[in-house]
Structure 1
Amino acid sequence: PILTRGLLLTAGRVQLGLLKGWSQVGPASGGVYLSLLLFAAVFLLGLFGQRFWCRYVCPSGAVFSALSFLRIGERKVEATCIHCHKCIESCPFDAIHQDYTTRTADCTFCQTCGGACPAHAIKFVTRWNRDKLKEPNEPPMVPRSLSRRGFIASSVAGMGAALSLRTGPVAPRPLRPPGSVSEPEFLDLCVRCGECFKVCPGPVLHPAGLEFGWEALWTPVVVPSHAGCHQDCNFCTQVCPTHAIRPLSLQEKRRTPMGWAVINPKICLPHAGQRDCRLCFEECEAAGYHAIQMRQIKLALGDIPPGVFSEAQLEAMGSIEAPVVDADACTGCGLCEYRCHTTYTKQTHVLSESAIRVVPGERDCASYSVRRGRRNST
């Protein structure tokens, strides 16, 4: 996973920039830099010893080692062993004792030592095979010391680090892909495989950084300011191997909310009385959600000397059409935010931030999707 994630956030970003344009490459967050640091660290650890990561750090290897006592096959050494030491030198996992017998918890059954043995004294047989085996502790072994204090300290530190992920400060809620399960369940199910990032055409989905807490690091979050979730795309819902993102058909996806759009009237151009603007409305209409309506609102005209303008002119000057979000119809796709951000923040620099933002919702996606489907069919 470290290698895959490192390539995704290095070569993947370069590939996206070359194929779709560098404007499609999102800003590098703290999570990206941390991933690159770990990516480099995995290779640098190899300087300390062969397969250092696999032997001492990899959590998957630790799980397999704990279950090694269930193994049927084992590496055995016959009495014809000539004590040449070549098996110990060739073993990539340091799984051979000084008396040439096997550290069962570390052995991966790669059989490299068998090919290196000039006496052909190594065999891979069932664990019950005892034929012609060499005597153990010959030559005598020096046992590895394991400090009880160090073992206890490491265990306590590990448990403390795990608990701190769940008991730390409350992080802001991220905007998850459509069809995502509840946040606690999502964090338990998501394995950070990156499949959703690979298929997202926007890309709308980005790996979460540290702003959402350590536990959410590298999980997929929707970034509407970078791209909106297209109404005809449900790719991420089809590739999630753990169903942290539930499989949805296109019809279900269009009815399933991620959040909802909120307009900031202080900076929205029509609401602030600065100019007409229908960008978010047009984007929502084109997507077929019809969740934004244009309504007449009154504007404060201030003191105008009588007779300067007619009543009709004053009426026209004192009102403007402004967008209003229908929260019940909004799915939080972010197309409106993307259009506003791209036009007024990135291109014309009229606004310092988008006037319409998508915020995470608290609605139960599954029941809401069914309820909306029934409402639309009536």
Structure 2
Amino acid sequence: MPQKGQSNSTELYQPRSRLLSGHIDRSQFLRGDLRGRQSEIRPPWSQSESSFTELCERCNDCIEACPQKIITRGSAGFPKIDFSVAQCTFCGDCVKACEHQALGFDSDPNMAPWHLELSIEKSCLSQNGVVCRSCGDICEEAAICFKLATRGRSLPQVDQQKCNSCGACISVCPSHSISILPGTQTQAA
């Protein structure tokens, strides 16, 4: 078992193994993003990145259909999610508006909209002794709780199993310490 601050051998070689196994797309490679952590978040129920960019016509129908206005134009004009505006309500309007099948429920409407992971940075006010629980208060899934620590700090703990990646916690964070990143699972294919 690795010591604190060290990583095990599978973590060290993960980017290389992903590269060799073909799990990154060309745009990730050109950006130097071998771990896929700089990828833009696509709308919910999107196809895999390579299928999505192939099928998406950049028509803006999903952008116009989103009542929360969190779908915006990303690089090369493809839609991306901006959680700094609001949260995703998973209404499905973007999927219904997509005529090119870049977004789709497939055969299971209960399918997870995406596989993302919430990350809280060290700039979090609560981790630095300032009383703040904005993210935990707004989280309807109760995926963020706080563990008491020394010096009056409360450390936020994220239960990735409960988190539905709606992004509600991002726009309310006063220190902009929360981000949602592509998860370790593949997106809907």
Q: TM-score range by the shorter chain?
A: 0.7 to 0.9
The answer as to 2:187 corresponding to 1:335 is no
**Contact 1:181 1:245 (8 Å CA) reproduced:** yes
Q: Alpha-carbon deviation of 1:196?
A: 0.3
Normalised by the length of structure 1, the TM-score is: 0.38
Deviations 1:110-169 (A, max 9, x none): xxxxxxxxxxxxxxxxxxxxxxxxxxxxxxxxxxxxxxxxxxxxxxxxxxxxxxx86982
**1:242 aligned onto 2:108:** no
Per the alignment, residue 21 of structure 2 pairs with none
Taking the aligned partners of 1:355 and 1:293, their CA distance within structure 2 comes to 15
Aligned-partner SS, 2:179: strand
- Alignment partners' CA distance in 2, 1:201 and 1:364: 26
Code of the aligned partner of 1:230: T
Structure 1 residue identity aligned to 2:110? E
Q: 1:297 aligns with which of 127, 138, 149?
A: 149
Correspondence 1:363 to 2:161: no
Gaps of 5+ in 1: 1-164, 210-216, 299-317, 345-350, 368-378
Size of the aligned set, in residue pairs, is: 159
Show structure 2 runs of 5+ residues with no match: 1-25
One-letter amino acid of the counterpart of residue 183, structure 2: G
Question: CA shift at 1:252, angstroms?
Answer: 2.6
Q: Deviations over 1:191-246 (max 9, x none)?
A: 1111101111121000013xxxxxxx111100111222125x22112221122111
Please say if 1:322 is aligned against 2:155.
yes
Alpha-carbon distance in 2 for matches of 1:168, 1:252: 32
Conserved in 2, the CA contact under 8 Å of 1:263 and 1:357? yes
Q: Which one of the candidate residues 66, 71, 77 is aligned to 1:205?
A: 71
Q: How does 1:1-378 map to 2 (within 5 A)?
A: 169-170=30-31, 172-209=38-75, 217-231=76-90, 233-247=91-105, 252=110, 255-265=112-122, 267-273=123-129, 275-285=130-140, 289-298=141-150, 318-340=151-173, 344=174, 351=175, 354-366=176-188
State the Cα RMSD in Å.
Answer: 2.7
Cα–Cα, structure 1 residues 186 and 366, in superposed 2: closer, same or farther, change >3 Å? closer
Give me the whole-angstrom Cα distance separating, in 1, the residues matched to 2:188 and 2:27.
Answer: 26
Structure 1's consecutive aligned runs of 4 or more residues displaced over 6 angstroms after TM superposition are 165-168
Residue 276 of structure 1, CA deviation:
1.1
3-state SS of 2:101 partner: coil
Match for 2:149: what amino acid?
A: I
- Tell me the percent identity: 29
SS of match in other structure, 1:262:
strand
Residue 16 of structure 2 corresponds to none
Q: CA deviation at 1:278?
A: 1.1
Higher helix share: 1
- Bigger Cα Rg: 1
Contact 1:178 1:258 in 2 (8 A): no
Q: 2:66 and 2:58 mapped to 1: Cα distance?
A: 15
Alpha carbons 1:258, 1:333 under 8 Å: kept: no
Cα deviation 1:16-70 (Å, max 9, x = unaligned): xxxxxxxxxxxxxxxxxxxxxxxxxxxxxxxxxxxxxxxxxxxxxxxxxxxxxxx
